[in-house]
Structure 1
Amino acid sequence: MTTAHPAPTRVFATALFDMDGTLIDSTPAVDRSWTRWGEEYGMDPSFRIGMHGRPARDIVTSLLPPDRVDEAFARVEQLELDDTDDIVVLPGAAELLGSLPDAQRAIVTSCTRRLAAVRIAGSGIPAPATVVTVDDTSRGKPNPDPFLEGARRLDVDPHDCVVFEDAPAGLAAAKAAGCFTIAVVSTHQRAELDADIVVDSLADVLLTPAPGGFTVSLR
């Protein structure tokens, strides 16, 4: 089922894809890593509420005093780097990503550079040449910086980009950057997703080449 506005008829220059929860499902690995981290650092399980889509360092910073942040962040990153089991490509993701040339696509993720590389390799998804990680901007999602950087690297106006996201933090970042947004129902309920279009899966989306880029339609 698709909700929100109908698919736009205008031509987009590029597509910017979030990774976890949009292109791949890494939820089991994420859950194991953060659960173990929370146990090691004496956290109440409720600390996980609302964390998806936010950079790990921001989460750690919100939970611990400044003098413990570096060590605690390094620990959770290592836990995630060591756990690549059960990571799978979500329906329609490989086909949609593969339907665009490198000049028209990028991954924009809240993962670190090392973790993004591990998860892309572990899932086998066709990685684009442009991958923007949390290491590439001074502020992560929900700030617009990651998507602005993705547009900059592809040399396009952010208003000519369509963003695919699954999390409220990422959608807020994309909207703040001026991008058109398509939300995928994955890690959040449909009612939580404030986007121009909401789809059940990327398999519902078709990108058709057009002069200057591509158009978006829904199956």
Structure 2
Amino acid sequence: MMMLRYEFDAVLFDLDGTLIDSTAAVRRAWRRWAEEEGVDPALLDGTAGKPAKEIVAMLLPPERHEEGLAHYSHIATHDLEGVVVLPGAREATEAVGEHKAIVTSCSRDVTAARTAAARLPVAEVLVTADDVDKGKPSPTPYLLGASRLGLAPERCLAVEDTPSGLASGRAAGCTTLGLGEPGSLDADLVVPDLSHVRFSVVGDKVALTVGG
């Protein structure tokens, strides 16, 4: 395989499905939430990557939004069985050092709980659903992540595993790296997981190497 090398000012990582495997915990949390709120679980189809507050707003009447979101947050911060770091994630985040941010659709509380369960240090620069009015696929989360680093989004790499997350990064102007099966995601580059790429810091830039 030909080796490809790219340079960026920073890397903006999604969390769930990108750095940590929380798939089973997320599914359990939403299934339990739906059952306890009297919501048809089938209505959760297609919501992957969207902030909890948007999902709750879509499925509950306005007068129940605040209570419903607090209910989900309680479930999600307590059901952490099976939450682990994904292949290559720890190495990638350590390799880029301070040249990174985590941009997640989770709330700050859920982010803290899941990263602690996976024993993954939280990045100094963190954008959560609590920080934005519009979540993914809106460009707002990635624009804010780049802004908090003091960088232009066009010089950043957004790393994601869902169509809505990649759409968010792309709309913000970032180069996109999708994690999944080839042909399954619309991204500038697609690899199975972060163990298939290498990051290094060269001067004030982050170098991404693929293949080789």
- 1:63 deviates by 1.2
Q: Residue type matched to 1:64 in 2? A: L
Spell out, residue by residue over 1:8-47, the C-alpha distance to the aligned partner (whole angstroms, 9 max, x if none).
x442000000000000001111111111111112222211
- 1:211 deviates by 3.3
2:37 matched to 1:45?
no
2:119 matched to 1:124?
yes
Q: Residue type matched to 1:148 in 2? A: L
What is the alpha-carbon distance in structure 2 between the residues aligned to residue 160 and residue 27 of structure 1? 30
2:128 to 126, 133, 146: 133
2:153 matched to 1:158?
yes
Contact 2:9 2:205 in 1 (8 A): yes
TM-score by length of structure 1 reads 0.91
Displacement over 3 Å in runs of 4+: 189-192
Give the aligned partner of residue 79 of structure 1.
Answer: 75
TM-score by length of structure 2 reads 0.94
Q: Residue type matched to 1:115 in 2? A: V
Q: Residue type matched to 1:203 in 2? A: S
Out of 44-53 and 167-176, give the one that drifted further.
44-53
Q: Residue type matched to 1:56 in 2? A: A
Mapping of 1:1-219 within 5 angstroms? 7=4, 9-102=5-98, 104-185=99-180, 190-219=182-211
Instruction: Name the % identity.
Output: 43
For the aligned residues, what is the CA RMSD? 1.7
Contact 2:96 2:200 in 1 (8 A): no
Contact 2:6 2:209 in 1 (8 A): no
Contact 2:178 2:189 in 1 (8 A): yes
- 1:52 deviates by 1.1
